[in-house]
């Protein structure tokens, strides 16, 4: 029995024995979740091979589950912790109601209730409680989502193009076809999340994108690959904007950046895991009559669908219905959100969608996001090819993609934490963009493999922090719940337009140095730098203008309820709203 699996099972047993109070009431639900956990961890019992040993080969009837079992065990442990925490295992009867009925029946009238005793230490404990119950599972499902979307770059090194007889730009077409459908799904998906409970909607899309991923492993030609990529785009499109909107429903504006970074850092971990997994799965070539690239799609799709089975129980819908919070904690979360957003509307009214669609600031952020996502998708989809062209073998190139992603993960979290601490988004965005420009310049300027590889590290630590910083900046500057959800979806939609461009940035005819592709990405990041500078300056000046007006007029607390009701319709255009900079 593998040590990692043994520890996971012992931990689970110890947890059970220490929580008898919660054991009886949810017996069948908890037993089902335990079955899912053990199913995920089961490969560790089946086969044991030395990890990534180059000399080890697959023998008939034997699959190299060593690497798969390690990852599955840790994912299983995360699912176990995330879904079976004492309070997280409970879904109330309110879960059968509609989103609006649930919110209305369980929300707390903060105006009639004075919440006391919330000093700085108590607030930190509350935030830690939220972080523990919300962020890990959101990060896990995004890791799997990004892994499923970009693992085609790793599959390419395992003869995907040869087996499917792809030629010319057909491989690039297969990359690009995902994004129009991904983009089209984003705004409707966020509106559905507002209408339907997040636990239902996110589970729904996760099950179906996992099925599309598994199907991708069985395609036999160009048309089949195109079709499965379309379905993958349709169902993955709602996750990223949905989770970013979901986070804003739990945290104040200046707290969202770090949490979005923790969530988005899963994309960098997906890149790192993708390289390691692809190297291990390469040993399965020929098993079941399938190539290694087929097994990459199938096994990673299976991981996603196994985790999706626990998503309904692991995702909490709203602070007012969160079982893991005490009544006073629910009241404090809602009080903090109301204080942070003033008297802005949370109603489901299409006029707030129209406000978002006509807000010029959101379109600027769409362009910044597009200029950020284009390098990220180019990097994720083509890094294995770029590294291989530096002189590495295909198997070693898979492993050499890991260090840039690890560095990117660290810098993404650090930059966002500092941005939250000092409440400065624009400055840290500008710094990240300069680092990215330096990295791509190193890649374009020389053919020296060492310098080029260093350039990939600089590029990674420069491009990945831009997305959580930019999303937190835009979402924090949009007033009102529905307008914010629409604005986030618009921003991500604009960002994923960069994915279409990214599919054609690195063309085979430009190899091995890809100078043209690197130069295009320098141009995109340069555009982002210019627009970020503009929005930083504008936000500071607009805040100063509103401060001047506020000093000459009444503050919101001095307004009548009727005046507040009228002004709340103006969303972030109300005089007391201040933009994060």
Other beta carbons within 10 Å of 98: 11
Rounded to an integer, what distance in angstroms lies between the CA atom of residue 16 and that of residue 506?
A: 52
Q: How far apart are CA 436 and CA 441, in angstroms?
A: 8
DSSP 13-49: HHHHHT-GGGTSTTHHHHHHHHHHHHHHHTHHHH---
Burial 236-267 (b: 16+ CB within 10 A, else e): bbbbbbbbbbbbbbbbbbbbbbbbbbbbbbbb
CATH class of 131-316+326-545: mainly alpha
pLDDT of 43 strictly over 60: no
Question: How crowded is residue 327: how many other Cβ atoms within 10 Å of its Cβ?
Answer: 9
Residue among 302, 176, 149 nearest 236 (CA): 149
- Kindly report, residue by residue over 323-358, the tens digit of the pLDDT: 899 998 999 988 888 877 655 555 556 777 888 889
How far apart are the C-alpha atoms of 278 and 155, rounded to whole Å? 7
Cα separation, 379 vs 459, in Å, equals 9
pTM above 0.85, yes or no: no
Confidence (pLDDT) at 539:
93
pLDDT at 453 over 80: yes
Is residue 108 within 8 A of residue 286, CB to CB? The reply is no
- H/E segment holding residue 92: none
pLDDT in tens, 462-513: 999 999 899 889 888 887 767 887 888 889 888 889 989 999 999 888 888 8
Q: How far apart are the C-alpha atoms of 379 and 443, rounded to whole Å?
A: 12
Q: Are 580 and 252 in contact (CB under 8 A)?
A: no
Q: What is the pLDDT, as a whole number, of residue 67?
A: 40
- The Cα–Cα gap between 575 and 130 comes to 31
- Taking phi over 0 as left and psi of -120 to 50 as alpha, with beta for the rest, 479 belongs to beta
Residue 117 in this model has a pLDDT that exceeds 60: no
Query: Domain map of the chain by residue range?
Result: 1-92, 131-316+326-545
pLDDT in tens, 291-304: 999 999 999 999 99
512 φ, ψ to 5°?
-90, -10
Task: State whether residue 306 is helix, strand or coil.
Answer: helix
Q: How many CA atoms lie within 13 A of 239 on its CB side?
A: 31
Distance CA 431, CA 415 (A): 9
Structure confidence by residue, pLDDT tens digits, 525-548: 999 999 999 999 999 999 999 888
CA-based nearest residue to 262, from 78, 132, 401: 132
In this prediction, residues 188-211 reach a mean pLDDT of 89
- Which one has a higher pLDDT value, 119 or 298? 298
* SS3 category, 358: coil
Indicate the helix (H) or strand (E) that contains 485: helix 481-502
> Looking at the predicted structure, is the pLDDT value of residue 159 above 80?
yes
Residue with tokens 């090819």: 385
């Amino acid at each position: 029995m593998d040590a990692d699996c043994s520890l996971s099972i012992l931990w689970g047993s110890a947890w059970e024995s220490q929580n008898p109070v919660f054991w009886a009431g949810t017996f069948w639900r908890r037993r089902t979740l335990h079955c899912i956990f053990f199913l995920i961890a089961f490969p560790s019992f089946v086969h044991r091979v030395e990890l990534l040993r180059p000399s080890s080969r697959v023998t008939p009837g034997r699959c190299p589950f060593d690497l798969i079992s390690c990852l599955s065990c840790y994912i299983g442990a995360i699912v176990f912790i995330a879904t079976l925490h004492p309070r997280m295992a409970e879904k109330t009867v309110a879960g059968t109601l509609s989103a609006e009925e649930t919110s209305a029946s369980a929300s707390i009238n903060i105006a009639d209730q004075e919440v006391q005793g919330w000093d700085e230490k108590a607030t930190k404990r509350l935030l830690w409680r939220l972080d523990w119950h919300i962020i890990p599972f959101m990060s896990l499902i995004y890791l799997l989502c990004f892994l499923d979307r970009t693992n085609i770059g790793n599959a390419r090194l395992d003869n995907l193009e040869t087996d499917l007889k792809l030629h010319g730009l057909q491989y690039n077409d297969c990359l690009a076809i995902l994004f129009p459908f991904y983009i089209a799904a984003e705004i409707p998906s966020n509106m559905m999340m507002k209408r339907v409970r997040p636990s239902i909607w996110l589970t729904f899309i996760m099950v179906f994108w996992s099925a599309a991923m598994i199907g991708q492993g069985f395609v036999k030609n160009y048309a089949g690959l195109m079709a499965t990529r379309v379905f993958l785009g349709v169902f993955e499109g709602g996750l990223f904007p949905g989770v970013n909107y979901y986070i804003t429903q739990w945290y104040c504006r200046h707290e969202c950046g770090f949490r979005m970074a923790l969530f988005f850092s899963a994309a960098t971990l997906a890149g790192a895991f993708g390289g390691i997994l692809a190297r291990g799965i390469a040993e399965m070539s020929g098993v079941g009559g399938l190539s290694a690239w087929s097994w990459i799609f199938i096994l990673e799709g299976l991981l996603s669908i196994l985790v999706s089975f626990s998503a309904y129980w692991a995702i909490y819908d709203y602070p007012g219905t969160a079982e893991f919070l005490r009544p006073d904690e629910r009241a404090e979360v809602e009080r903090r959100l109301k204080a942070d957003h003033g008297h802005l509307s949370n109603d489901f009214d299409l006029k707030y969608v129209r406000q978002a669609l006509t807000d010029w600031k959101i379109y600027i952020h769409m362009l910044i996001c597009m200029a950020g996502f284009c390098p990220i998708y180019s990097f994720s989809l083509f890094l294995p090819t770029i590294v291989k062209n530096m002189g590495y073998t295909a198997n070693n190139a898979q492993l050499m993609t890991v260090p840039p992603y690890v560095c990117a993960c660290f810098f993404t979290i650090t930059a966002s934490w500092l941005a939250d601490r000092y409440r400065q988004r624009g400055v840290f965005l500008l710094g990240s963009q300069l680092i990215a420009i330096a990295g791509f310049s190193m890649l374009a300027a020389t053919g020296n493999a060492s310098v080029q590889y260093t350039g990939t590290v600089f590029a990674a630590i420069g491009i990945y922090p831009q997305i959580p910083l930019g999303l937190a900046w835009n979402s924090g500057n949009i007033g009102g719940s529905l307008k914010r959800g629409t604005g986030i979806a618009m921003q991500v939609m604009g960002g994923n337009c960069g994915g279409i461009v990214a599919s054609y940035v690195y063309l085979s005819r430009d190899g091995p140095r890809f100078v043209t592709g690197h130069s295009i990405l320098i141009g995109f990041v340069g555009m982002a730098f210019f627009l970020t500078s503009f929005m930083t300056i504008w936000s500071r000046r607009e805040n100063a203008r509103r401060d001047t007006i506020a000093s000459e007029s009444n503050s919101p607390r001095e307004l009548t309820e009727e005046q507040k009701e009228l002004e709340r319709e103006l969303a972030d255009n109300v005089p007391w709203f201040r933009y994060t900079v």
